[in-house]
A = this chain, B = another copy of it.
Amino acid sequence: MSKLNEQANGVYIISATPFTDHGELDLASADSLIDFYLEKGVSGITILGMMGEAHKLTEEEALSFMQRVLARVNGQVPVVVGVSHASHRHVERLAKTAMDNGAAGVMLAPGPNLATDPQVENYYLSVAQLLGNEVPICLQDFPQSTRVHTSVPVMLRLIEALPQIVMLKHEDLPGMRKLSQLRSQSEALGLRRISVLVGNGGLFLPQELARGADGAMTGFAWPEMLVQVCQAYAEGNPGHGEDIFDCYLPLLRHEFQYGIGLGLRKEALRRRGAIKSAAVRQPGPVLDRIDLQELSGLMARLERKLADKGLN
Protein backbone atom coordinates (compact mmCIF):
# COMPACT_ATOMS: atom_id res chain seq x y z
CA MET A 1 0.00 0.00 0.00
CA SER A 2 1.52 3.33 -1.00
CA LYS A 3 1.61 6.11 1.52
CA LEU A 4 -0.08 9.46 1.42
CA ASN A 5 2.12 12.14 -0.13
CA GLU A 6 2.17 15.77 -1.20
CA GLN A 7 0.85 14.95 -4.67
CA ALA A 8 -2.53 13.84 -3.36
CA ASN A 9 -5.41 15.57 -5.11
CA GLY A 10 -8.99 15.15 -6.17
CA VAL A 11 -11.63 14.06 -3.71
CA TYR A 12 -10.82 12.33 -0.46
CA ILE A 13 -14.32 11.65 0.69
CA ILE A 14 -14.96 11.85 4.41
CA SER A 15 -16.78 8.66 5.08
CA ALA A 16 -19.81 8.39 7.30
CA THR A 17 -19.93 5.52 9.79
CA PRO A 18 -23.12 3.55 9.16
CA PHE A 19 -25.26 2.26 12.03
CA THR A 20 -28.35 0.14 12.13
CA ASP A 21 -31.60 1.72 13.21
CA HIS A 22 -30.74 0.53 16.70
CA GLY A 23 -27.37 2.22 16.72
CA GLU A 24 -25.20 -0.85 16.18
CA LEU A 25 -22.26 -0.57 13.83
CA ASP A 26 -23.47 -1.75 10.39
CA LEU A 27 -20.52 -3.33 8.65
CA ALA A 28 -22.52 -4.51 5.67
CA SER A 29 -23.39 -0.88 5.01
CA ALA A 30 -19.73 -0.02 5.44
CA ASP A 31 -19.10 -2.22 2.40
CA SER A 32 -21.87 -0.72 0.31
CA LEU A 33 -20.85 2.78 1.30
CA ILE A 34 -17.27 2.20 0.25
CA ASP A 35 -18.47 0.75 -3.04
CA PHE A 36 -20.65 3.82 -3.53
CA TYR A 37 -17.74 6.18 -2.92
CA LEU A 38 -15.44 4.27 -5.25
CA GLU A 39 -18.06 4.18 -8.00
CA LYS A 40 -18.37 7.94 -7.78
CA GLY A 41 -14.70 8.26 -8.56
CA VAL A 42 -13.14 9.46 -5.34
CA SER A 43 -9.34 9.56 -5.13
CA GLY A 44 -9.17 8.62 -1.47
CA ILE A 45 -11.25 7.95 1.61
CA THR A 46 -10.95 9.42 5.08
CA ILE A 47 -12.51 7.53 7.96
CA LEU A 48 -13.01 8.10 11.66
CA GLY A 49 -13.16 11.87 11.38
CA MET A 50 -15.64 14.06 13.21
CA MET A 51 -18.30 13.42 10.61
CA GLY A 52 -17.59 9.72 11.08
CA GLU A 53 -18.83 10.01 14.67
CA ALA A 54 -15.46 8.63 15.79
CA HIS A 55 -15.97 10.05 19.29
CA LYS A 56 -19.11 7.96 19.65
CA LEU A 57 -17.40 4.66 18.90
CA THR A 58 -15.71 2.31 21.31
CA GLU A 59 -12.11 1.53 20.48
CA GLU A 60 -13.18 -1.92 19.42
CA GLU A 61 -15.84 -0.55 17.10
CA ALA A 62 -13.41 1.92 15.59
CA LEU A 63 -10.91 -0.82 14.91
CA SER A 64 -13.48 -3.13 13.44
CA PHE A 65 -14.84 -0.41 11.14
CA MET A 66 -11.34 0.54 10.05
CA GLN A 67 -10.40 -3.03 9.21
CA ARG A 68 -13.61 -3.57 7.29
CA VAL A 69 -13.10 -0.42 5.23
CA LEU A 70 -9.46 -1.19 4.50
CA ALA A 71 -10.38 -4.69 3.40
CA ARG A 72 -13.13 -3.43 1.12
CA VAL A 73 -11.01 -0.67 -0.39
CA ASN A 74 -8.29 -3.22 -0.85
CA GLY A 75 -5.69 -0.76 -2.01
CA GLN A 76 -7.77 0.81 -4.79
CA VAL A 77 -7.36 4.27 -3.22
CA PRO A 78 -5.48 5.59 -0.18
CA VAL A 79 -7.33 5.54 3.14
CA VAL A 80 -6.62 8.25 5.71
CA VAL A 81 -7.57 7.51 9.31
CA GLY A 82 -8.48 10.12 11.93
CA VAL A 83 -6.39 9.63 15.08
CA SER A 84 -7.10 12.77 17.11
CA HIS A 85 -7.12 11.98 20.81
CA ALA A 86 -6.71 13.89 24.08
CA SER A 87 -3.60 11.90 24.95
CA HIS A 88 -0.38 11.83 22.96
CA ARG A 89 0.25 8.18 23.72
CA HIS A 90 -3.13 7.24 22.31
CA VAL A 91 -2.59 9.27 19.17
CA GLU A 92 0.58 7.24 18.82
CA ARG A 93 -1.21 3.98 19.44
CA LEU A 94 -4.09 4.78 17.09
CA ALA A 95 -1.69 5.85 14.36
CA LYS A 96 0.37 2.70 14.73
CA THR A 97 -2.75 0.57 14.55
CA ALA A 98 -3.96 2.41 11.47
CA MET A 99 -0.66 2.11 9.63
CA ASP A 100 -0.26 -1.52 10.60
CA ASN A 101 -3.66 -2.21 9.14
CA GLY A 102 -2.81 -0.59 5.85
CA ALA A 103 -3.81 3.06 6.14
CA ALA A 104 -2.01 5.49 3.83
CA GLY A 105 -1.73 8.17 6.50
CA VAL A 106 -3.42 9.75 9.47
CA MET A 107 -5.43 12.91 10.04
CA LEU A 108 -4.71 14.91 13.16
CA ALA A 109 -6.56 17.88 14.63
CA PRO A 110 -4.85 19.88 17.38
CA GLY A 111 -5.65 19.02 20.99
CA PRO A 112 -8.05 21.23 22.91
CA ASN A 113 -7.17 24.41 24.78
CA LEU A 114 -4.32 25.52 22.57
CA ALA A 115 -4.57 29.27 22.51
CA THR A 116 -1.41 30.70 21.00
CA ASP A 117 0.88 30.00 18.06
CA PRO A 118 3.64 28.43 20.16
CA GLN A 119 1.13 26.13 21.84
CA VAL A 120 -0.25 24.89 18.54
CA GLU A 121 3.19 24.47 17.05
CA ASN A 122 4.46 22.56 20.07
CA TYR A 123 1.45 20.31 19.99
CA TYR A 124 2.24 19.08 16.51
CA LEU A 125 5.97 18.92 17.14
CA SER A 126 5.44 16.71 20.20
CA VAL A 127 3.04 14.38 18.49
CA ALA A 128 5.08 14.13 15.31
CA GLN A 129 8.11 13.14 17.35
CA LEU A 130 6.14 10.26 18.82
CA LEU A 131 4.79 9.17 15.46
CA GLY A 132 8.08 9.35 13.67
CA ASN A 133 8.85 10.15 10.04
CA GLU A 134 7.14 7.11 8.61
CA VAL A 135 3.58 8.13 9.38
CA PRO A 136 2.26 10.66 6.84
CA ILE A 137 0.13 13.30 8.55
CA CYS A 138 -2.78 15.37 7.29
CA LEU A 139 -3.20 18.47 9.48
CA GLN A 140 -6.84 19.27 10.11
CA ASP A 141 -7.42 22.99 10.47
CA PHE A 142 -11.02 23.21 11.62
CA PRO A 143 -11.30 25.90 14.29
CA GLN A 144 -15.10 26.03 14.20
CA SER A 145 -15.06 22.62 15.82
CA THR A 146 -11.74 22.42 17.65
CA ARG A 147 -11.69 26.05 18.82
CA VAL A 148 -7.99 26.00 17.98
CA HIS A 149 -6.60 28.39 15.39
CA THR A 150 -3.52 27.46 13.38
CA SER A 151 -1.92 30.51 11.82
CA VAL A 152 -0.20 30.51 8.45
CA PRO A 153 3.25 31.09 10.04
CA VAL A 154 2.70 28.04 12.27
CA MET A 155 1.75 25.95 9.25
CA LEU A 156 4.83 27.09 7.37
CA ARG A 157 7.11 26.29 10.30
CA LEU A 158 5.54 22.86 10.65
CA ILE A 159 5.90 22.13 6.94
CA GLU A 160 9.55 23.04 7.23
CA ALA A 161 10.21 21.07 10.40
CA LEU A 162 8.17 17.96 9.75
CA PRO A 163 8.56 16.13 6.43
CA GLN A 164 5.77 13.77 7.46
CA ILE A 165 3.20 16.55 7.11
CA VAL A 166 2.10 16.03 3.55
CA MET A 167 -1.42 17.35 3.55
CA LEU A 168 -3.62 20.07 5.00
CA LYS A 169 -7.33 19.66 5.44
CA HIS A 170 -8.22 23.31 5.06
CA GLU A 171 -11.42 24.02 6.92
CA ASP A 172 -11.06 27.41 8.57
CA LEU A 173 -14.01 29.72 7.84
CA PRO A 174 -13.71 32.22 6.40
CA GLY A 175 -10.50 30.80 5.10
CA MET A 176 -10.00 31.68 1.46
CA ARG A 177 -7.39 34.32 2.12
CA LYS A 178 -5.59 31.95 4.46
CA LEU A 179 -5.31 29.44 1.64
CA SER A 180 -3.91 32.07 -0.72
CA GLN A 181 -1.40 33.20 1.90
CA LEU A 182 -0.30 29.67 2.63
CA ARG A 183 0.42 29.05 -1.04
CA SER A 184 2.16 32.34 -1.72
CA GLN A 185 4.23 32.44 1.45
CA SER A 186 5.20 28.80 1.14
CA GLU A 187 6.41 29.47 -2.37
CA ALA A 188 8.22 32.66 -1.38
CA LEU A 189 10.07 30.70 1.29
CA GLY A 190 10.89 27.89 -1.09
CA LEU A 191 9.13 25.31 1.07
CA ARG A 192 7.71 21.98 0.01
CA ARG A 193 4.32 22.35 -1.65
CA ILE A 194 1.98 20.12 0.35
CA SER A 195 -1.40 18.87 -0.71
CA VAL A 196 -4.32 21.06 0.36
CA LEU A 197 -7.78 19.57 0.35
CA VAL A 198 -10.72 21.67 1.43
CA GLY A 199 -13.53 20.93 3.85
CA ASN A 200 -16.60 22.82 5.03
CA GLY A 201 -18.75 20.57 2.91
CA GLY A 202 -17.15 22.09 -0.19
CA LEU A 203 -19.04 25.36 0.27
CA PHE A 204 -16.27 27.35 -1.38
CA LEU A 205 -14.76 24.64 -3.54
CA PRO A 206 -14.54 26.54 -6.86
CA GLN A 207 -12.95 29.59 -5.29
CA GLU A 208 -10.59 27.44 -3.25
CA LEU A 209 -9.48 25.43 -6.28
CA ALA A 210 -8.75 28.72 -8.01
CA ARG A 211 -6.69 29.82 -5.01
CA GLY A 212 -4.50 26.76 -5.03
CA ALA A 213 -6.35 23.89 -3.39
CA ASP A 214 -5.71 20.45 -4.85
CA GLY A 215 -9.10 19.03 -4.15
CA ALA A 216 -11.68 18.41 -1.46
CA MET A 217 -11.81 16.34 1.69
CA THR A 218 -15.39 16.48 2.76
CA GLY A 219 -18.44 14.30 3.02
CA PHE A 220 -21.05 15.78 0.69
CA ALA A 221 -23.53 13.04 -0.17
CA TRP A 222 -23.07 13.63 -3.91
CA PRO A 223 -19.35 12.95 -4.23
CA GLU A 224 -19.62 12.84 -8.01
CA MET A 225 -20.13 16.60 -8.00
CA LEU A 226 -16.94 17.14 -6.03
CA VAL A 227 -15.13 14.82 -8.42
CA GLN A 228 -16.44 16.55 -11.52
CA VAL A 229 -15.64 20.02 -10.21
CA CYS A 230 -12.10 19.05 -9.26
CA GLN A 231 -11.66 17.45 -12.66
CA ALA A 232 -12.94 20.49 -14.50
CA TYR A 233 -10.47 22.71 -12.65
CA ALA A 234 -7.65 20.24 -13.22
CA GLU A 235 -8.46 20.28 -16.93
CA GLY A 236 -8.40 24.06 -17.04
CA ASN A 237 -12.13 24.41 -17.38
CA PRO A 238 -13.18 26.27 -14.26
CA GLY A 239 -16.33 27.75 -15.80
CA HIS A 240 -17.69 24.28 -16.44
CA GLY A 241 -16.74 23.27 -12.90
CA GLU A 242 -18.57 26.23 -11.48
CA ASP A 243 -21.66 25.43 -13.57
CA ILE A 244 -21.80 21.95 -12.09
CA PHE A 245 -21.11 23.26 -8.61
CA ASP A 246 -23.93 25.78 -8.81
CA CYS A 247 -26.47 23.07 -9.59
CA TYR A 248 -25.69 21.30 -6.35
CA LEU A 249 -25.13 24.40 -4.25
CA PRO A 250 -28.66 24.58 -2.78
CA LEU A 251 -28.27 21.03 -1.46
CA LEU A 252 -24.65 21.54 -0.43
CA ARG A 253 -25.62 24.64 1.52
CA HIS A 254 -28.46 22.66 3.08
CA GLU A 255 -26.11 19.94 4.31
CA PHE A 256 -23.84 22.67 5.66
CA GLN A 257 -25.72 23.02 8.91
CA TYR A 258 -23.70 21.92 11.93
CA GLY A 259 -25.47 19.20 13.81
CA ILE A 260 -28.49 18.46 11.68
CA GLY A 261 -26.26 18.43 8.62
CA LEU A 262 -24.96 14.99 9.51
CA GLY A 263 -28.51 13.67 9.75
CA LEU A 264 -29.31 15.12 6.33
CA ARG A 265 -26.16 13.69 4.84
CA LYS A 266 -26.82 10.19 6.10
CA GLU A 267 -30.42 10.38 4.94
CA ALA A 268 -29.25 11.38 1.48
CA LEU A 269 -26.76 8.51 1.46
CA ARG A 270 -29.56 6.19 2.47
CA ARG A 271 -31.85 7.42 -0.28
CA ARG A 272 -29.05 6.98 -2.77
CA GLY A 273 -28.68 3.35 -1.72
CA ALA A 274 -25.27 3.72 -0.10
CA ILE A 275 -26.30 2.71 3.42
CA LYS A 276 -29.27 0.93 4.97
CA SER A 277 -30.13 3.29 7.80
CA ALA A 278 -29.67 7.02 8.28
CA ALA A 279 -29.34 6.58 12.05
CA VAL A 280 -26.97 8.89 13.89
CA ARG A 281 -25.76 7.83 17.31
CA GLN A 282 -27.51 9.64 20.12
CA PRO A 283 -27.26 12.36 21.13
CA GLY A 284 -27.56 13.40 17.52
CA PRO A 285 -30.00 14.79 14.99
CA VAL A 286 -33.20 12.95 14.22
CA LEU A 287 -35.00 14.24 11.16
CA ASP A 288 -38.69 15.04 11.42
CA ARG A 289 -41.36 15.06 8.74
CA ILE A 290 -40.67 18.62 7.64
CA ASP A 291 -36.93 17.98 7.44
CA LEU A 292 -37.54 14.95 5.25
CA GLN A 293 -39.93 16.77 2.93
CA GLU A 294 -37.59 19.69 2.64
CA LEU A 295 -34.78 17.37 1.63
CA SER A 296 -37.04 15.67 -0.92
CA GLY A 297 -37.87 19.03 -2.43
CA LEU A 298 -34.25 20.00 -2.77
CA MET A 299 -33.34 16.61 -4.24
CA ALA A 300 -36.15 16.84 -6.79
CA ARG A 301 -34.98 20.29 -7.81
CA LEU A 302 -31.45 18.95 -8.28
CA GLU A 303 -32.72 16.17 -10.52
CA ARG A 304 -34.60 18.66 -12.68
CA LYS A 305 -31.63 20.98 -12.96
CA LEU A 306 -29.26 18.21 -13.92
CA ALA A 307 -31.76 17.00 -16.51
CA ASP A 308 -32.18 20.53 -17.89
CA LYS A 309 -28.45 20.88 -18.28
CA GLY A 310 -27.93 17.37 -19.56
CA LEU A 311 -25.63 16.73 -16.60
CA ASN A 312 -27.35 13.67 -15.19
Which chain B residue lies CB-closest to A152?
B118
Smallest CB separation, A277 vs chain B (Å) = 15
Instruction: Report yes or no: A56 in contact with B151, Cβ–Cβ below 8 A.
Output: no
CB of A261 closer than 8 Å to a CB of B:
yes
Q: Using CB atoms, name the residue of chain B closest to A117.
A: B117
For A153, the chain B residues whose CB sits under 8 A away are: 117-118
Number of interface residues of A (CB under 8 A): 59
- Cβ B88 vs Cβ A259 within 8 A: no
Our pick among B173, B210, B254, B301 for the contact of A257 (Cβ within 8 Å) is B173
- By secondary structure, the A interface counts as helix
For the complex formed by this chain, how many copies does it contain in all?
4
Q: Which of A229-286 contact B (CB under 8 A)?
A: 242, 245-246, 249-250, 253-254, 257-261, 281-283
**CB-CB contacts of A202-222 with B at 8 A, as 1s and 0s?**
011001001100000000000
Q: Which of B53, B123, B177, B261 meets A260, CB within 8 Å? A: B177
Output the least CB separation between A234 and chain B (Å).
18
Point out the residues of chain B lying under 8 angstroms from A93, CB to CB: 58
With A116-B151, A211-B290 as known contacts, state yes or no: A203 contacts B56, CB within 8 Å: no
A256 to B182, CA, bound (A): 22
Residue of B89, B119, B180 near A282 (CB, 8 A) is B89
Q: With an 8 A cutoff between CB atoms, is A303 at the interface? A: no
* Residue in chain B with minimal CB distance to A180: B290
* B-contact bits for A173-184, CB 8 A (1 contact / 0 none): 110110010000
A306 interfacial by beta-carbon distance below 8 Å:
no
Contacts of A160 in B (CB 8 A): none
B257–A55 touching, CB < 8 Å: no
Contact for A283 among B126, B150, B203, B288, CB less than 8 A = B126
Q: Is A72 at the interface (CB under 8 A from chain B)?
A: no
User: Are A115 and B282 closer than 8 Å at their CB atoms?
Assistant: no
The answer to the question of A193 belonging to the interface, with a C-beta cut-off of 8 Å to chain B, is no
Most B Cβ at <10 Å: residue of A113, A245, A253, A260:
A253
Flag whether A87 is at the interface (Cβ < 8 A): yes
A–B Cβ pairs within 8 angstroms, 11 of them: A115-B143, A118-B151, A118-B153, A174-B258, A176-B260, A177-B288, A177-B291, A180-B290, A204-B254, A210-B294, A211-B290
Interface residues of chain A, those whose CB is within 8 Å of chain B, are: 23, 53, 55-59, 86-90, 93, 111, 113, 115-119, 123, 126, 143, 149-154, 173-174, 176-177, 180, 203-204, 207, 210-211, 242, 245-246, 249-250, 253-254, 257-261, 281-283, 288, 290-291, 294, 301
